[in-house]
């Protein structure tokens, strides 16, 4: 298809598509005439994925390029998933990763062990978890691995739900693409669901108890 | 205490504390001499909270100010929690909130209903959830409320864990502060835990199956 059709079917402007082509997020089309290029169906799919990672996942162009290139490497499903996963940015801002002492890494490793997880390869998420332990300690919440374990079990249940949806799918790129979309898109969905559930729980627990008494003042 | 002690005990530089004072994130100290001011213990606590929201939660100065001011309003626990919650930014980038059709709002409301949640007040998170449904549909995953319900149940279990930790605490500001810290800090922790659990699940499911066969090439 031509770039105009790519734009129409994806909802992404031609200018943005050209930008993605220049940045190497999309493979170049096949030139058919002067200033004309043909793109296969797979480019449309790649474009939609790039758009989602950037606009909804909030990934940078550079990070998106890393994820997409990881998917192009001719390796196993497992290795593709790992490469794409590691290319995502940490759930914590850079600043939270500074000055994280060894004790917080020890808590992070203890939590992974208590959760029964086998982590293969150089995951960056042990460091993220250590940053989380430090951030909690900084605000006065000295949560041990044991305190976070119930949350780890819920996260594991979510990860099982994630992969259960791929039962029967064999194509390596397809599995990797679905896994990345779920990781990136469901993260804000899960955060949203937790906030709604918190509002429900707050209403159940606090809405009708001692409203005036603990107000500290009247309106 | 003096500003120097505030800095030493919080680990936040004097320049940053002065900036927060100018932006109204912290109440002004009591002037004791020319260019000298005394701050109560509560300012240290407020400073730590502001620092965490900004450095770890990634909140803007403006959003942090909104959260902190919500906590200062003399209203009930329930209302304080709501105000602080609504002042947080959406888990989705602004762009994901554009052009969200009514059908996605309908799915979001159906999910809240199916989850059995009572949502009181003008929560912004129905709109966030609708943005999530749209983002999934845009990438070709037309997930209904029913498809997301298992995730909503896990989010609810997490919210229960959150509030269970406040059992026995009566002070309104204390409860609101703990709730906000948990909402903001545990969000990246939960995202990190899910990614680690995904790596474990990927290893269990894909590490030793058809490695070479589906590689699409050899190394």
pLDDT in tens, A57-70: 778 898 899 888 88
Q: Does A105 map to a domain?
A: no
Rounded mean pLDDT, A129-142: 88
- Give the CATH number, domain containing residue A34: 1.10.1660.10
A172, A206, A215, A219: best to mutate for the B interface, most B CBs within 10 A: A206
Structural domain count, chain B:
1
What does the alpha-carbon distance between residue A74 and residue A77 come to, in Å, rounded to a whole number? 9
Structure tokens at A111: 């939590």
In the block, tokens 């407020």 appear at B46
Q: Does A4 map to a domain?
A: yes
Taking residue A55's Cβ as centre, other Cβ atoms within 10 Å add up to: 18
Phi, psi of B31, deg, nearest 5: -70, 125
ipTM of the complex: 0.86
Structure tokens at B52: 């965490």
C-beta separation of A33 from A51 below 8 A: no
Q: Per-residue pLDDT for chain B (219 aa), expressed as one digit of tens each? A: 999 999 999 889 999 999 999 999 999 989 887 778 999 998 998 998 898 888 887 788 988 998 888 888 777 888 888 888 888 888 888 888 988 999 999 999 999 999 999 988 788 999 999 999 998 888 888 888 999 999 999 999 999 999 998 888 888 888 888 888 888 889 999 999 999 999 999 899 888 754 443 433 333
3-class secondary structure, A96: helix
Q: Does B66 map to a domain?
A: no
- The distance between the two most distant Cα atoms of chain A, rounded to a whole number of Å, is 78
3-class secondary structure, A88: coil
Residue A31, pLDDT > 90, answer no
With vertex at residue A133, the alpha carbon angle to CA B187 and CA B7, rounded to the nearest 5 degrees, is 100
Q: Does B161 map to a domain?
A: no
User: A–B: how many Cβ contacts below 8 A?
Assistant: 333
Structure tokens at A139: 């605000």
Residues of B in contact with A207 (CB under 8 A): 78, 120
A82, A95, A139, A160: best to mutate for the B interface, most B CBs within 10 A: A139
Q: Does A12 map to a domain?
A: yes
The answer to whether the Cβ–Cβ distance between A199 and B125 falls below 8 Å is: yes
What does the alpha-carbon distance between residue A21 and residue A68 come to, in Å, rounded to a whole number? 13
Of A188 and A71, more confident? A188
Q: Does B89 map to a domain?
A: no
C-beta separation of A172 from A80 below 8 A: yes
- The shortest CB-CB distance from B194 to any of A158, A201, A203 is to A158
3-class secondary structure, B155: helix
Pairing of strands A36-38, A30-33: antiparallel
C-beta separation of B64 from B23 below 8 A: no
Residues of A in contact with B201 (CB under 8 A): 156, 159-160, 162-163
3-class secondary structure, B159: helix
B189, B204, B207, B212: best to mutate for the A interface, most A CBs within 10 A: B189
Q: How far is B118 from chain A (nearest CA, A)?
A: 5
C-beta separation of A91 from B192 below 8 A: yes
pLDDT-derived band of residue A218, with 50, 70 and 90 as boundaries? Answer: very low
Q: Fill in the DSSP letter of residue B118.
A: -
Q: Fill in the DSSP letter of residue A32.
A: E
* pLDDT confidence of residue A212: 40
Q: Which domain holds residue B42?
A: 1-55
* Cross-strand bridge partners of residue B33: B36
Q: What is the pTM of this model?
A: 0.85
Taking residue B106's Cβ as centre, other Cβ atoms within 10 Å add up to: 13
Q: How far is CA A72 from the centre of its chain?
A: 19
Mean pLDDT (chain A) is: 87
Q: Does B166 map to a domain?
A: no
Q: Does A116 map to a domain?
A: no
């Amino acid at each position: 298809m031509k770039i105009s059709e790519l734009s129409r079917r994806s909802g992404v402007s031609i200018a943005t598509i050209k930008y993605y082509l220049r940045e190497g997020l999309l493979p170049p089309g096949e030139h058919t005439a002067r200033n004309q290029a043909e793109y296969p169906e797979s480019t449309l799919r790649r474009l939609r994925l790039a758009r989602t990672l950037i606009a909804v996942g909030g990934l940078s162009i550079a990070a998106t390029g890393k994820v997409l290139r990881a998917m192009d490497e001719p390796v196993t499903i497992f290795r593709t998933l790992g490469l794409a996963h590691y290319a995502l940015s940490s759930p914590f801002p850079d600043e939270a990763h500074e000055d994280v002492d060894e004790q917080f890494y020890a808590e992070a490793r203890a939590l992974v062990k208590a959760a029964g997880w086998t982590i293969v390869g150089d995951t960056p998420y042990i460091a993220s978890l250590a940053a989380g332990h430090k951030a909690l300690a900084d605000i006065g919440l000295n949560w041990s691995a044991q305190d976070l374990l119930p949350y780890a079990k819920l996260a594991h249940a979510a990860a099982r739900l994630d992969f259960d949806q791929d039962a029967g799918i064999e194509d390596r790129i397809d599995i990797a693409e679905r896994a990345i979309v779920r990781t990136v898109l469901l993260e804000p969905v899960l955060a949203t669901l937790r906030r709604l559930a918190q509002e429900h729980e707050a209403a159940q627990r606090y809405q009708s108890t001692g409203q005036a008494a603990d107000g500290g003042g009247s309106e």
